[in-house]
């Protein structure tokens, strides 16, 4: 009976060690997932900033284009007829 109790005790110790190791791995996995999420959020912020810059540049381009077209059709139409 003593051998059976000893074997049972060793199995319980191994199970405890494995559960501890599993808990540590789960915690590490949670940290990795959080780090990935933070990195993704930072990249999203960078992407949104780039998008804002492109949008501002596009607005400035369209404003300039509109002004050029308006001046071409309004003020410079007499110059175009002379050429």
Q: Scan for tokens 């007499």, then name that residue.
A: 78
Q: Where are the beta strands (DSSP E) in the chain?
A: none
What is the Cα–Cα distance from 22 to 16, expressed in whole angstroms?
10
pLDDT tens per residue, range 14-58: 999 999 999 999 999 999 999 999 999 989 989 999 999 999 999
The whole-number pLDDT of residue 26 equals 98
Predicted TM-score (pTM) above 0.85: no
What is the Cα–Cα distance from 62 to 41, expressed in whole angstroms?
31
Q: CA distances (Å), 28 to each of 2, 23, 35, in order?
A: 39, 9, 11
| DSSP run (H or E) holding 27 | helix 2-73
Least confident range from 28-32, 43-47, 61-65, 78-82: namely 78-82
> Average pLDDT, stretch 70-78?
76
């Amino acid at each position: 009976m003593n051998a059976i109790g000893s074997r049972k005790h060793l199995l319980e110790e191994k199970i405890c060690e494995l559960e501890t190791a599993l808990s540590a791995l789960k915690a590490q996995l949670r940290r990795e997932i959080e780090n990935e999420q933070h990195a993704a959020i930072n990249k999203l912020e960078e992407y949104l900033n780039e998008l804002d810059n492109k949008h501002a540049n596009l607005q400035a381009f369209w404003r300039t284009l509109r002004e050029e077209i308006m001046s071409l059709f309004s003020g410079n139409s007499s110059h175009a007829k002379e050429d």
